[in-house]
Structure 1
Amino acid sequence: MTQPRPVPPLPSPKERRRLREAASLTQAQVAARVGVARETVRAWESGRTAPRGPEREAYAKLLASLNKADKVTNNQALTSTLELQPVTPLAPATPPVPVPPVPPVASLAPLAPRADAPAPPPSGAPLTPAQAFDALYAFCAPALVRQAYLLSGRRELARESVEWAFQLAWQRWPEVAVDRDPAGWVRATAYEFALSPWHRFRPRYRHPEPPPADASDRALLDVLLTLPAPQRRTLLLYDGVGLDLPETAAETEASTPAAANRLLHAREVVASRLPDLADPVELHRRLAEVASAERLRAAKSTVVRLGSERRARFWTRAAIAFTIAIIGATALTARTAPTRYEPPVPPGETVQGVPPRAAPGTLSNAELNLRAKLRAETQPGPERLLPEGR
């Protein structure tokens, strides 16, 4: 009789997910390497199901290689003293774990730094805030532009949303640098800006942009834009980015059941209008294709940092000028205000009992005779003086 092969041990579901995220792998990539669907990997990481058979062996070998690479990364991190610990894993100094070739479709999740990213500092040198910010920008900006485009349907608004989010992150860098998930902080800020209803009142966004050239891309984008904003955001985070349901609920500020209902309703609408996208795996692929079909490039990190600093200086000067105006108005009021109390003049009152003013009436007979007598008689006066001639 042949002895049964020993079952390889597996780490806890929480550790499985941590190892995958430490290696910057998505659930779809892990599923491609193991040979299962992405939903299966999600169930393994949540603990709902356990792998069996050949899939378990392949999954165990993959986790073992990820664990080995993670230990090497941790040893390198311990030898270097970094100022911003939560941001240093995003720097491209540590080489990523080799991944199998993926289809020629740009993913919606950040997988690798940009080609024009700044060079990492020498080994053992601490990262400056600008270098850490540039590393985060190179890691997240390209994918965030594509995600914002799927949310808003506008190319210029997508770029503006990402630049605004990173400008705000640079202004609040001490807070973002120590955040547990800096990429999630920036993503949530960009989503809020892209979905703001006030953009419809801006002159530059009153008219629609040209739709995608491909008919299938136009159909999918039209279906996405008809969804309510919360459902669209939930669908993009879960089926596009690859977050699990609790993370999606936390980022959308909703409960887990509410996020699940939004996701189900969004999938039903998409499946009813596009039956080919009823499969979540196919929907994820098509979302990535639509986003990658457009030429969407974010600005350089240095431009974003300089823009953030200019914006901060402008609002600081505006606040100072407003404060000075208030102080000047207060001083002028205190200078020109009266120093004593002057009671107001009371309004006039009506006096009672005064007879009305009599108007002249007609003359009597005696008055008429007297007036005639006075006019008829010549009144004596002084003698008139005449000049004498010579």
Structure 2
Amino acid sequence: MNIIDFKWPKGFQSGAVHAGFKSSGQLDMCWLAANHPCAAAGVYTKNQFQAAPVQVTKHTIDQTHQLQAVVVNSGNANSFTGDEGIQNVHRETEMVGQKLGIDPNLIGVASTGIIGKQLEMDVFENGLNQLSLSDSTAAPEAIITTDTTSKKICVETTIDGQLVTVTGFAKGSGMIHPNMGTTLSFISTDANIDGATLQAILSAKIVNSFNQITVDGCMSTNDMVIAMASGDANNHPLTNQHPEFAEFVAAFDHVLTGLAKMVASDGEGASKLIEADVFHAASQVDANHVAKAIVGSNLIKAMIFGEDANWGRIVQALGQTEAKISLDHLAISIENTAIIKDSQIQTFDMDALRKQLASDNINITVDLAAGDYSGVAWGCDLTYKYVEINAAYEE
């Protein structure tokens, strides 16, 4: 597996325009389309107020696990918009289907932005009239809201002697605390794989990637990840019996995990990426839960921002969980500096540790001494800028 410059897998093209959802003149609408129907999979936010695009696209994918195109806008979430919002999503699929000459039931829709505003269909139509398909890779720029940068990654691997590409792009900076979904993210591949198998991989791998990030503990109404596979790499069909199945899964997982870390590191106002590694947990659920509890703790996030090694906040976050912990053999390290070993405070250089906390990437390692499972999670520090952004948020 090799990380390569961002490009679309065989069979896919894209386009991006400024439709007018954002007054700033930035790109705010894009599409990704294949030249034939593709295997498709999706996972979605568990927020009870799923946005209209989430509801419709989930239904579309669940029917046949096929898509041929996805259209995305930023600047308006089309969330909490009732039946009119649902009908507008159907109008979007009809309009896109007519322009591309494909079945509207093969089109996914995603939106991000302000909640509670009806989608401006005249603006959507304006964007659609401008959109075209090419090898342009501008789509990642068109889906960002408060992000400081676009998130994108591309890897190649070899299956049956054929070069297989997996490409992903995502958005997300605030309202990040996924649950069986992600921030908006789109994965495309030219691997030959059926929709059910692709769904199984996505559902399994989202658990330890996007579901292990948090920025602010707030779950979006619009979270969704869509995966599409064109099959144009012409490898033999991938199933779990294929001798190189694991190679594809590893490439797919690398894209998901890479995007997840990009989202965490670009949290609203963030200055540092925090990684929590948990070892010797009693179960995978415990391992994942404890890791996410560490990176999600506002006290720990503020501690990292202040570059203050107040390790008692880590102890508090651990004890707050229901995970099994050996109370006599707990170990905690910050940036490879041992703080606690066998539940005893260690001697360490506090000034040196504070200097280490000035780096952009901070690692916290915890050994629960309770089993054989491990987990990892990613988050970011809590800064004054986060409050500033969210005290007066508008597109």
**TM-score higher than 0.5 here?**
no
Based on CA coordinates, which of the two structures has the bigger radius of gyration? Answer: 1
Q: Per chain length, whose mean CA-contact separation is higher, i.e. which structure has more relative contact order (CA < 8 Å, sep 6+)?
A: 2
Higher fraction of strand: 2
- TM-score of the two chains, using structure 2 as the length reference: 0.28
